[in-house]
Amino acid sequence: MLTDAILEDDRWQPIGLEQLSERAAVATLLHLNVAVDAHEIVVMGCNDSRIAALNQDFRDKPTATNVLSWPYEDLSSEESGGTPLLPEAEELGDIAISFETCEKEARDQGKPLTDHVTHLLVHGVLHLLGYDHIRDADATVMEQLEVEILGKLGLPDPYRGYEGPNGL
């Protein structure tokens, strides 16, 4: 398995965070032609209190957020909009994802929680692989990759609005 999911909050169990993590991570690595069996990712399913503490500790932001990631190595491109380096380390890094924030965002956006969580996990894995959204050109590249990967998983473009059974 590519991912090791640690559930600090039992509310992640019914939506299958372990399976969603593996599916999102495998799809992301395959899309980028990165060897799936050569790497590992830890995903922690937590709550708002825990992710707010992590956000404070690592980013000096004392608020809850949906997802955080800690890459094992810096693979980012120095060129705006450039392609990151390929990972050499077995460990790609760690991802934390908060149940309450994800649930609220999914509800507010009118999309199934599993779709939103899958998007955020793809987003987190892309961060581990050196993609970011600070510079405009990098954000464009990252968002396009997210749309392509989610499309391969049969999910709609998260930036265009969700049109599904609970959608807009």
**Closest listed residue to residue 155, CA positions, set 142, 164, 168:** 164
Q: What stretch of H or E contains 118?
A: helix 113-128
Q: What are phi and psi of 77, to 5 degrees?
A: -85, 140
Residues 72/92, Cβ–Cβ less than 8 Å: yes
123 is in an annotated binding site: yes
Report the distance separating Cα 143 and Cα 129, nearest Å: 14
119 is in an annotated binding site: no
Burial 101-113 (b: 16+ CB within 10 A, else e): bbbbbbeebebbb
Through-space distance between the first and last CA atoms of the chain, rounded to whole angstroms: 36
Pairing of strands 91-98, 67-71: antiparallel
31 is in an annotated binding site: no
Residue numbers in the known binding site are: 123, 127, 133
Residue numbers in the known binding site for Zn(2+) are: 123, 127, 133
